[in-house]
Amino acid sequence: NTRFKNYVEDKLIRGDVQSNTAINTSLGSQGIISKINTDGETVGYSAGALDIPKLHEITRIMDVNGGANEVVWLQDIFQRQDFSDGLFQTFPAGAFVWGQGEKSEDASVAYGFQNRLIDGYLIKVKKYRNFNSEFSTGTTPAVDYFRNYGVIIPQGTAMDYKDSTKIYKNLTVMFQQPPAGGTIGNGIRVWEHGGGSRKPSDGTMEDYVEMITYRSTRVCAANQFIQVESA
How would you class 59 by CB atoms within 10 Å of its CB: exposed for 0-12, middle for 13-18, buried for 19 or more? middle
Model confidence band, residue 33 (pLDDT cutoffs 50, 70, 90): very high
| Alpha-carbon gap, residue 33 to 216, rounded angstroms | 12
The better pLDDT of the pair 199, 189 is held by 189
Mean pLDDT of the chain: 85
| Alpha-carbon gap, residue 170 to 80, rounded angstroms | 24
CB 152, CB 144: distance < 8 Å? no
Q: DSSP letters of 43-98?
A: EEE-TT---HHHHHHHHHHHHHTT--SEEEEEE-HHHHHHHIIIIITTSPTT----
End-to-end alpha carbon distance in the chain:
37
CB 91, CB 34: distance < 8 Å? no
Q: DSSP letters of 135-174?
A: HHTS---SS-TTTTEEEEEE-SEEEETTEEEEEEESEEEE
Task: Please check the confidence at residue 87 and state whether its pLDDT lies above 80.
Answer: no
CB 171, CB 152: distance < 8 Å? no
Model confidence band, residue 44 (pLDDT cutoffs 50, 70, 90): very high
Task: Please check the confidence at residue 41 and state whether its pLDDT lies above 70.
Answer: yes
E strand or H helix that includes residue 117? strand 114-118
CB 82, CB 48: distance < 8 Å? yes
Phi, psi of 172 (to 5 degrees): -135, 135
| Alpha-carbon gap, residue 88 to 160, rounded angstroms | 38
pLDDT at 98: 42
CB 69, CB 121: distance < 8 Å? yes
- Least Cα distance to 74 among 130, 172, 13, 150 occurs for 150
- Tell me the per-residue pLDDT of 56-68, one tens digit each, with 9 for 90 and over: 999 999 999 988 9
pLDDT at 6: 86
pLDDT at 221: 92
Longest pairwise C-alpha distance within the chain: 68
pLDDT at 147: 92
CA dihedral sign, ordered 58, 62, 63, 64: positive
- Tell me the per-residue pLDDT of 199-228, one tens digit each, with 9 for 90 and over: 888 888 999 999 999 999 999 999 999 999
The better pLDDT of the pair 108, 192 is held by 192
Q: What is the mean pLDDT of residues 183-193?
A: 90
pLDDT at 95: 44
Model confidence band, residue 94 (pLDDT cutoffs 50, 70, 90): very low
pLDDT at 227: 95
Give the best-scoring range by mean pLDDT among 11-15, 21-25, 199-203: 11-15
pLDDT at 97: 46
pLDDT at 112: 57
The better pLDDT of the pair 19, 93 is held by 19
